[in-house]
Structure 1
Amino acid sequence: MPRPTCSQCCRPLAYCLCALVSRLDSRTRVLILQHPSEAGHALNTARLAALGLENAELRIGEHFADLADLLADPGYDARLLFPGDEAELPSQQRAEQRPLLLVVPDGTWRKARKLLYCNPLLEHLPRLTLPEGLESRYRLRKAPKVGALSTLEAITETLNRLEAPRRFDALLRPFEALIDGQIAAMGEEVFQRNHG
């Protein structure tokens, strides 16, 4: 018999993170396109981002038939958060500029690239990327490359830059509690041996 889970954070009820989730409003609208293979992942940081932001939406799939409608919102300028040759660093948005629709593919690098391939409209969006050298708090996973962040960390860092001086670090509270809980469950000795 499956364990009862929270309908919001999708964690087992005994490990529900909802009390740690801050509902933050943002000028930037965030659209997270999650590859289906990530949806059941124990450390689903995209779900935590969507729960923590009032102006965010999480879509799960490989192909999004209504993507053109989502990107055509006249109140927003769409940007893809994904590295590329012409990608720019996020910088503070001025009040007179239209707010951004930040489109964030969620999955392994391979799966995120597949989302772009399956949804060609994404390839044509101007891109934002984060600077090299950022350090992930995701202490349980070996990053495929230096500076790789979880989806939640990347969204938090991007919003901190776009909407400065406002900060969105409160989004990371359930993420940090989740990681601390995983480390406690495996024991400090096992954690140090495998991840320390």
Structure 2
Amino acid sequence: MSSNNTPPRARCNRCVRPLVSCLCELIPLLDSRTRILLLQHPSETDHALNTARLAALGLVNAELLIGEKFPSLSQSLTQPGYQACLLFPGEAAQPVHQHLNHAETTPLLLVVLDGTWRKARKLLHVNPLLAALPRVVLPAGLQSRYRVRKTPAPGMVSTLEAIVCALNLLEAPRNFEALLLPFEVLIDQQIAAMGEQTYLRNYHPD
């Protein structure tokens, strides 16, 4: 039988992983004062390492929207009781830790774009409301645990890692590292699927 006739593997409706490697039991359910709005480019939805979905599943106060243009974006950005800002570099971007989420401050609605840098910039271009938001950035020099991706520049992390870092800074001493457990297992699954030699050859060529 040719591979073209091989039936697709059954998938979990929630984490969208093959049932044999379902991550749902590892995904926590964490609350936060910060609200996370994830805007995912459609090209990312079928990606094997869909970390934005893991973030949306693991956080009570999170929303995931998929598309290029978001007609209802204004409604999502004007949630009562939140100050909206965009997690994205820019000339006027402030360090995210300057917005510490204390009980007496207005919590952030943190908008996070999920896609390649080119796709993220396209989302900014076609959604003027995003470009008008104040911007915040993560600290420099972060180390990604994304062992099966070659980053175009040092300090770049996955969407999920960026959210965990931002929440850890905004809501200290609370810790959101539990969100990374399914991410770590997912990476291990990917390495096992490709084989250790392939992994070492492609991601550790030295």
Structure 1 partner of 2:31? 25
Aligned length: 196
Structure 1 partner of 2:136? 128
Structure 1 partner of 2:184? 176
CA RMSD of aligned residues (A): 0.9
Q: Give per-residue Cα distances to partners, 1:26-60, cap 9 Å, x unaligned.
A: 11010100000001101000000000101111100
Structure 2 partner of 1:73? 79
- State the alpha-carbon separation in 2 of the partners of residues 22 and 72 from structure 1: 27
- State the alpha-carbon separation in 1 of the partners of residues 168 and 147 from structure 2: 22
| Contact 2:142 2:155 (C-alpha < 8 Å) held by counterparts | yes
Normalized against structure 2, the TM-score is what?
0.93
- State the alpha-carbon separation in 2 of the partners of residues 17 and 164 from structure 1: 27
Q: Which 5+ residue runs of structure 2 have no aligned equivalent? A: 1-6
The range that moved more, 175-184 or 42-51, is 175-184
- State the alpha-carbon separation in 1 of the partners of residues 45 and 195 from structure 2: 26
- State the alpha-carbon separation in 1 of the partners of residues 53 and 101 from structure 2: 25
Identity %: 65
Residue 56 of structure 1 is aligned with which of 57, 62, 66? 62
Structure 2 partner of 1:37? 43
Q: Which 5+ residue runs of structure 1 have no aligned equivalent? A: none
Normalized against structure 1, the TM-score is what?
0.97
Residue 11 of structure 1 is aligned with which of 17, 35, 42? 17
- State the alpha-carbon separation in 2 of the partners of residues 192 and 2 from structure 1: 28
Larger Rg computed on CA atoms:
2
Runs of 4+ in 1 over 6 A off after TM superposition: none
Structure 1 partner of 2:4? none
